[in-house]
């Protein structure tokens, strides 16, 4: 029987991701299937090269690095950009000769004036519908007066996987749904490649998608510290209510929020963190991938890593750290 990863729909999704069809999980394929997938030189017979060998599977647990405890508040306010992975929302792609790092906007501090105790207390009592209504009415920061609408989130209210992005853009602000622009199409394709989508009745196959902040920052600028701080209890409550078995943090702001680390994405990916006791996997923001297509292969590896971690969490009951 053909392996499900050779399914034509899945292969079409991978192609849309810009990944060659050979980007399937070799550890799940027979050697013959791997050989059948890989490109051949004219006249070459299937399985004729060393590279056609299926890799032995590495147990996910052995590759996993547990998160270190949250850094101190001092470390969290380190506001310097560390490299390209930090700048997923940063201004338009620079010209080939421009010094990209020098053009990056400064990194916002991770935490700054906290939401008031009254706000925290109120949010902690809300159910999903009440939280959505609260978010739509929120005016706790300046973005409340600038948006068309708040973007609460979309997906299954009990999703096994919760995806956390950064902030709504212009299209999301118009439609009231996260990730509906170009980056969203890429995200949908990436999710589809691993059998997930944003709509459906099955919590195992339907994700919940939310952002670190719920209102669009003008001009697509980075979220500011006070905006993140006011939205933080909303995201925390969303996580508590959905109670996913895996959190997928896309981009710097989500990664900082869910891991407490200011390290660049390149150093956070392929490691396992926990937030509210839920496993967290970090990957690149789809908008960054649109500008840096070569890193799509790493994002695919991160999705595979996330799948491994989800499987482990489901096996073991899913709580830790």
302 is a contact residue toward ligand URA (CB under 6 A): no
155 is a contact residue toward ligand URA (CB under 6 A): no
Nearer to ligand URA, 71 or 176 (CB): 176
232 is a contact residue toward ligand URA (CB under 6 A): no
Q: What is the distance, to the nearest Å, from the Cα of residue 89 to the centroid of all Cα atoms in its chain?
A: 14
Q: Which of 92, 8, 74, 69 lies closest to 275, judged by CA?
A: 69
- Judge whether 152 and 172 are in contact, CB under 8 Å: no
Nearer to ligand URA, 244 or 286 (CB): 286
Place of tokens 């007066």: 145
- Judge whether 34 and 48 are in contact, CB under 8 Å: no
b or e along 217-244 (b: 16 or more beta carbons within 10 Å of the residue's beta carbon)?
beebebbbbbbbbbbbbbbbbbbeebeb
**Cross-strand partners of 164:** 210, 249
Q: Binding residue for ligand URA (CB under 6 A) from 104, 110, 135, 179? A: 179
CA gap 310, 141 in Å, rounded: 35
* Least Cβ distance, residue 268 to ligand URA (angstroms): 16
318 is a contact residue toward ligand URA (CB under 6 A): no
Nearer to ligand URA, 168 or 264 (CB): 168
Q: Binding residue for ligand URA (CB under 6 A) from 85, 172, 227, 263? A: 172
225-242 and 128-137 helices, crossing angle to 10°: 160
**Cross-strand partners of 161:** 246
# of chain residues touching ligand URA (CB under 6 A): 12
* Least Cβ distance, residue 83 to ligand URA (angstroms): 19
178 is a contact residue toward ligand URA (CB under 6 A): yes
Residues 266-295: x where in contact with ligand URA by CB under 6 A, - otherwise, as a string: ---------------------x--------
167 is a contact residue toward ligand URA (CB under 6 A): yes
* Least Cβ distance, residue 184 to ligand URA (angstroms): 6
Select from 22-30, 64-72, 137-145, 171-179 the region that touches ligand URA (CB under 6 A).
171-179
183 is a contact residue toward ligand URA (CB under 6 A): yes
Instruction: Give me the count of residues in the chain.
Output: 321
Report in angstroms the alpha-carbon separations of 266 from 83, 190, 285. Answer: 9, 19, 12
Q: Which residues bind ligand URA (CB under 6 A)?
A: 165-169, 172, 178-179, 183-184, 211, 287
């Amino acid at each position: 029987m053909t392996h499900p990863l050779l399914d034509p729909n899945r292969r079409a999704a991978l192609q849309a991701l810009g990944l060659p069809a050979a980007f399937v999980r070799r550890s799940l394929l027979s050697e013959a299937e791997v050989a059948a997938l890989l490109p051949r030189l004219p006249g070459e017979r299937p399985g004729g090269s060393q590279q056609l060998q299926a890799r032995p599977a590495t147990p996910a647990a052995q590759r996993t690095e547990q998160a270190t405890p949250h850094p101190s508040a001092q470390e969290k306010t380190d506001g310097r950009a560390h490299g390209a992975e930090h700048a997923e929302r940063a201004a338009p792609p620079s010209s080939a000769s421009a010094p990209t790092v020098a053009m990056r906007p400064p990194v916002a501090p991770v935490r700054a004036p906290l939401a008031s105790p009254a706000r925290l207390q109120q949010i902690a009592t809300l159910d999903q519908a009440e939280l959505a209504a609260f978010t739509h009415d929120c005016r706790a920061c300046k973005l409340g007066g600038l948006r068309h609408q708040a973007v609460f989130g979309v997906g299954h209210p009990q999703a096994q996987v919760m995806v956390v992005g950064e902030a709504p853009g212009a299209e999301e602000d118009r439609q009231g749904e996260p990730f509906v622009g170009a980056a969203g199409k890429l995200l949908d394709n990436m999710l589809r490649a691993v059998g997930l989508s944003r709509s459906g009745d099955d919590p195992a196959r339907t994700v919940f998608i939310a952002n670190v902040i719920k209102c669009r920052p003008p001009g697509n600028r980075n979220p500011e510290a006070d905006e993140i701080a006011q939205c933080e209890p909303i995201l925390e409550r969303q996580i508590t209510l959905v109670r996913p078995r895996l959190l997928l943090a896309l981009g710097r702001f989500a990664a900082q929020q869910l891991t407490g680390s200011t390290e660049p994405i390149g150093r956070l990916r392929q490691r396992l963190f926990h937030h509210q006791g839920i496993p967290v996997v970090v990957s690149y923001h789809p908008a960054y991938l649109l500008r840096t297509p070569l890193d799509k292969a790493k994002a695919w590896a991160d999705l595979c890593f996330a799948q491994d971690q989800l499987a482990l969490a489901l096996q073991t009951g899913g709580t830790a750290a």
